[in-house]
């Protein structure tokens, strides 16, 4: 049964790769029909954007049999499906992910046979963040900024430094409060239990997505499948390469390749090499929270004046991006100002590959903007401590750098006061002429 | 905490491997030369802080620099291991530098040097000798990314604990034309070709090793001519024999100009 399903999923991949959506849908329906489910079984789609990127880098195409299928199998064995989540056997994972909570958020909206609530994620989040958490749900194309793609495990608004995972509390807070000035709504009206369930589910999708990315980029993506593929599946470069090998070299490379694939047939290896280290980082996030010296007692006017001086100094460089008037216009001339989620598939210096990514569902690139600080909107929360963390640690994925270590905590507090109270409030100010909204019609 | 065994297993593996000694040591030398015409490097478009960054002669794109006799600068050469191979023995001469600090400076809005090589045991000092603020945004794969501002005249220290498959990219979000590369390899058998294309790696353990050739213009050198023979490898991996007490001179290693992507 399991085998069968996976084979049909493969057919899905190869069709997706040709961008043949109509057939893809037909096939998907076929899969559901043969599986005989009473409700349409949602599927986690493979991260084809990452696959495509790896293929362009290595000038080879992934083998369905030896790469795409094993990746899908590993992911399903480790994390289950959108309706039936499971957790990989990583020691201590229960400290990071609570399966009961995840189940509350997973599945179609409603309640299960025992009357337990299910489907919170699909009820509240999926139309923006997508089933896999790719940030490309049906509404996404109309939003600016785009909803977060959870799969790289990168988050902007957190209490930990760049490169560290956010804490449970960080994610819980952004779900509760939303991100002001963006489409990310506040879910304050949900029970704290429900917000907890959603927080666990976001972490679950992130860890799953990070595992997938690692398998695609590092493990399976390192293999050059030309030697094991039938000639009909090889592209011109691969064919040329295979022809350049002697019989002996070919056999050697084949054996090496198959050995690597076999390595991942062991669950133990998967846990040790791939999922374990990822989960470990999430486990440690709580210990990585940036500690902060208490805000010094000071006359607000004086603190703001100090903050202003720092803001415009070469010690902090804030004005270099946020502009001399803090309208966020310091970078408008830069052609290459995109966030990391976009930079993953879009290189403004070489736009020729963009079409291929868009065909796989990537969102039209939108330029990032340093925040216009005169609008008084703080996406990551307006408590002084939120803004302190933003300035001290920078905003991961969004180019805003961490303040240099020589800037003291006290000085950061002055900057916090300055950006909160030291700028003329100007709700209608614009930092660049509105670009015509880049709305792409999605199927 | 409970997962301590990952890192301790790794440590153990490292200790065991560095205790192994080699059957002698040799040197590898060579010179990368471009065959064919390469356009002179383009001046970079300086969009801000012109007083500091817009110099005469202007800053140029450093991704493909060819010397007067065709020597190719900034080819990175490193000993390449299979993914689960043990680390090679390390010659005692590398111990003295094991805890060195490697410097990367911001000088007139360019990273100097353009390519640096570090080991996980070493530290990097990210400096800014310019009178304006810069930031270092460094993205790798095995190491945590970071993005930190460095004030005018300031600096900060950083350590990369893990080896990287390919060089990490350093960029400045304030001055987007700036890029640099950081090669992080556990084994110290790494070189970057000089202005004239030459490189030397000393005290390599005797034996048959794979070395990878990688260039800042487009990654792995998948086709080179060595010793009069054309060799191809999609991952730029070539076998080099090292003999005790001898220097393996690879001679001129030719790379066709049209194989170098811009």
What pLDDT sits at residue A332? 63
For residues B41-45, average pLDDT: 87
Q: Would you say domain B25-259 falls under CATH 2.170.190.11?
A: no
Interface test with B, best of A320, A342, A352, A407 (most B CBs within 10 A): A320
CB pair distance less than 8 Å for A315 and B151: yes
Checking if the pLDDT of B86 tops 80, the result is: yes
> What chain B residue is nearest to A283 in terms of C-alpha separation?
B1
Distance from CA of B203 to the nearest CA of A (A): 29
ipTM reported for the complex surpasses 0.85? no
- What integer is the mean pLDDT of A285-294? 93
What is the nearest CA distance from A401 to chain B, expressed in angstroms?
Answer: 5
- Are the Cβ atoms of A317 and B235 closer than 8 angstroms? no
Percent of chain A whose predicted confidence (pLDDT) is above 90: 63
> Which has the minimum average pLDDT: A207-216, A244-253, B69-78?
A244-253
Task: Residue B221: name the closest of B72, B65, B44 by CA.
Answer: B72
Q: What is the mean pLDDT of residues A175-204?
A: 95
Per-residue pLDDT band at A38 (split at 50, 70, 90): very low
Tokens standing for residue A296: 């010094």
Radius of gyration of chain A (CA): 24
User: Residue B152: its chain A contacts at CB < 8 A?
Assistant: 314-315
Tell me the per-residue pLDDT of A335-387, one tens digit each, with 9 for 90 and over.
778 999 999 999 988 899 999 999 999 999 999 989 999 888 999 999 999 99
For the beta carbon of residue A145, count every other beta carbon within 10 angstroms.
20
Give the lowest-confidence range in A18-27, A150-159, B155-164, B207-216.
Answer: A18-27
Pairwise CB contact (< 8 Å): B149 & A317: yes
Instruction: Look at residue B55 and tell me whether its pLDDT is greater than 90.
Output: no
Rounded average pLDDT over B65-92: 92
User: Could you tell me what percent of chain A has a pLDDT over 70?
Assistant: 86
Confidence of residue A43 (pLDDT cuts 50, 70, 90): very high
Q: Which of A74-88, A157-171, B13-27 has the lowest mean pLDDT?
A: B13-27
What number is the average pLDDT over the span A6-23? 38
**Judging by beta carbons within 10 Å of its beta carbon (0-12, 13-18, 19+), is residue B101 exposed, middle or buried?**
exposed
Tell me whether residues B146 and A163 touch, CB distance under 8 A.
Answer: yes
In this complex, the residue of B6, B145, B151 whose CB is nearest that of residue A406 is B151
pLDDT for position B140: 86
Mean pLDDT score, A423-441: 51
B→A interface, C-beta within 8 Å: 1-3, 6, 47-49, 82-83, 131-137, 139, 141, 143-152, 154, 156, 165, 173-174, 176, 219, 232, 234-235
Instruction: Say whether B154 and A91 touch across the interface (CB within 8 A).
Output: no
Predicted confidence at residue B5, as pLDDT, reads: 42
Instruction: Give the per-residue pLDDT at A356.
Output: 96
**pLDDT value at position A21?**
40
Beta-carbon separation of A317 and B145 below 8 A: no
pLDDT tens for each residue of A120-139: 999 999 999 999 999 999 99
Is the pLDDT confidence value at A4 over 70?
A: no
Alpha-carbon gap: B179 to the closest alpha carbon of chain A (Å) = 12
Chain B contacts of A331, Cβ < 8 Å? 174
B147–A164 C-beta distance less than 8 A = no
Is B147's CB within 8 Å of A92's CB? no
Dihedral angle, C-alpha A249, A255, A260, A265, nearest 10 °: 160
Q: Are B56 and B112 in contact (CB under 8 A)?
A: no
Q: What is the DSSP string of chain B?
A: -TTHHHHHHHHHHHHHHHH---S-EEEEEEEEEEES--PPPPBP---S-HHHH--SSPPB--SS-B-TTSBBP-EEEEEE--TTPPPPP--GGGGGGTT-EEEEEEETTEEESSEEEE-TTSEEEEEE-SSS-EEEEEE-SSSPPEEEEE-TT-EEEE---S--SSPEEEE-SSSTT-EEEEEE-SSS-EEE--TTSEEEEEEEESEEEEEEEEETTTEE--EEEETTEEEE-TT-EEEEEE-TT-EEEEEEEEEEGGGS--
Chain B residue whose CA is closest to A58: B234
CB contact set of B253 (below 8 Å; sequence gap of 6+): B30, B31, B32, B33, B213, B224, B225, B226
Looking at the complex, report in whole angstroms how far the Cα of residue A29 sits from the nearest Cα belonging to chain B: 38
pLDDT of residue A222: 83
Question: Per residue in B177-223, pLDDT tens?
Answer: 889 999 999 999 999 999 999 999 999 999 999 999 999 998 999 89
Residue A431 has pLDDT above 60, yes or no: no
Q: Which residue has the higher pLDDT, A86 or B1?
A: A86
The answer to whether the CB atoms of B145 and A162 lie below 8 A apart is: yes
Q: Which residues of A touch B166 (CB under 8 A)?
A: none
Instruction: Dump pLDDT digits (tens) for A256-274.
Output: 889 888 988 888 999 998 9
pLDDT at A237 over 70: yes
Per-residue pLDDT, averaged over A405-434, amounts to 82
Which pLDDT value is given to residue B232? 85
Residue A297 has pLDDT above 60, yes or no: yes
pLDDT of residue A130: 97
List chain A residues with CB under 8 Å of B1: 92, 283
CB contact under 8 A, A404 and B234: no
How many CB pairs below 8 Å do chains A and B form together? Answer: 117
For chain B, give the mean pLDDT.
87
Q: Give the model's pLDDT for residue B35.
A: 93
In chain B, what's the furthest Cα-to-Cα distance?
A: 58
Distance CA B190, CA B26 (A): 14
């Amino acid at each position: 049964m399991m085998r069968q399903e996976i084979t049909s999923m493969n057919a899905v991949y190869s069709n997706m790769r040709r961008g043949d959506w109509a057939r893809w849908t037909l096939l998907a329906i076929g899969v559901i029909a043969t599986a005989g489910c009473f409700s349409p079984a949602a599927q986690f789609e493979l991260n084809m954007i990452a696959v495509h990127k790896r293929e362009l880098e290595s000038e080879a195409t992934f083998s369905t049999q030896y790469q795409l299928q094993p990746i899908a199998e590993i992911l399903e064995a480790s994390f289950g499906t959108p309706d039936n989540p499971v957790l990989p056997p990583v020691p201590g994972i229960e400290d990071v992910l609570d399966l009961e909570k995840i189940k509350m958020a997973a599945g179609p909206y409603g309640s299960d046979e025992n009357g337990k609530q299910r489907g919170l994620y699909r009820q509240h989040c999926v139309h923006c963040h997508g089933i896999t958490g790719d940030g490309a749900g049906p509404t996404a194309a109309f939003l600016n900024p785009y909803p977060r793609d959870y799969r790289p495990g990168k988050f902007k608004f957190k209490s930990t430094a760049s490169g560290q995972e956010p804490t449970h509390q960080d994610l819980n807070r952004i779900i509760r409060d939303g991100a002001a000035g963006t489409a990310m709504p506040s879910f304050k009206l949900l029970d704290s239990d429900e917000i907890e369930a959603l927080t666990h589910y976001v972490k679950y999708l992130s860890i799953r997505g990070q595992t997938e990315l690692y398998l695609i980029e590092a493990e399976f993506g390192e293999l050059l499948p030309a030697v094991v593929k039938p000639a009909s599946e090889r592209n011109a470069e691969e064919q040329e390469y295979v022809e350049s090998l002697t019989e002996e070299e070919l056999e050697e490379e084949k054996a090496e390749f198959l050995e690597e694939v076999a390595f991942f047939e062991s669950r133990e290896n998967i846990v040790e090499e791939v999922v374990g280290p990822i989960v470990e980082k999430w486990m440690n996030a709580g210990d990585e929270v940036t500690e902060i010296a208490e805000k010094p007692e000071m006359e607000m006017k004086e603190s703001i004046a100090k903050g202003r001086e720092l803001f415009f100094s070469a010690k902090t460089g804030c004005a270099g991006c946020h502009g001399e008037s803090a309208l966020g216009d310091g970078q408008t001339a830069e052609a290459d100002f995109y966030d990391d989620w976009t930079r993953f598939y879009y290189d403004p210096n070489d736009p020729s590959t963009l079409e291929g990514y868009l065909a796989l569902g990537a969102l039209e690139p939108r330029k990032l903007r340093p925040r216009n600080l005169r609008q008084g909107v703080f996406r990551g929360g307006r408590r002084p401590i939120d803004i302190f963390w933003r300035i001290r640690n920078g905003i991961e994925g969004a180019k805003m750098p961490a303040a240099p270590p020589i800037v003291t905590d006290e000085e950061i507090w002055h900057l916090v006061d300055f950006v909160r109270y030291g700028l003329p409030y100007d709700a209608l100010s614009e930092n660049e002429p509105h670009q015509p909204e880049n709305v792409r019609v999605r199927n | 905490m409970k997962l301590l065994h990952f890192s301790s297993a790794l440590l153990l593996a490292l200790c065991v491997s560095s205790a192994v000694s080699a059957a002698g040591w040799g040197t590898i030398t060579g010179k990368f030369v471009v065959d064919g015409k390469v356009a002179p490097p383009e001046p970079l478009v300086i969009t801000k802080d012109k007083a500091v960054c817009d110099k005469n002669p202007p800053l140029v794109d450093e991704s493909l620099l060819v010397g007067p006799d065709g020597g190719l600068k900034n080819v990175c050469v490193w000993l390449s291991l299979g993914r689960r191979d043990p680390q090679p023995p390390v010659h005692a001469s590398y111990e003295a530098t094991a805890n060195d600090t490697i410097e990367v400076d911001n000088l007139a809005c360019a990273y100097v040097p353009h390519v640096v090589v570090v080991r996980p045991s070493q530290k990097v000092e990210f400096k800014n000798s310019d009178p304006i603020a810069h930031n270092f945004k460094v993205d790798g794969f095995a190491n945590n990314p970071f993005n930190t501002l460095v004030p005018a005249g300031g600096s900060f220290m950083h350590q990369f604990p893990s080896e990287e498959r390919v060089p990490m990219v350093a960029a400045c979000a304030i001055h987007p034309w700036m890029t640099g590369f950081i090669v992080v390899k556990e084994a110290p058998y790494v070189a970057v070709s000089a202005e004239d294309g030459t490189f030397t790696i000393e005290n390599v353990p005797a034996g048959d090793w794979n070395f990878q050739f990688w260039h800042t213009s487009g990654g792995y050198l998948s086709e080179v001519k060595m010793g009069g023979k054309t060799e191809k490898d999609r991952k730029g991996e070539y076998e080099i024999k090292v003999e005790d007490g001898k220097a393996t001179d690879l001679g001129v290693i030719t790379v066709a100009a049209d194989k170098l992507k811009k």
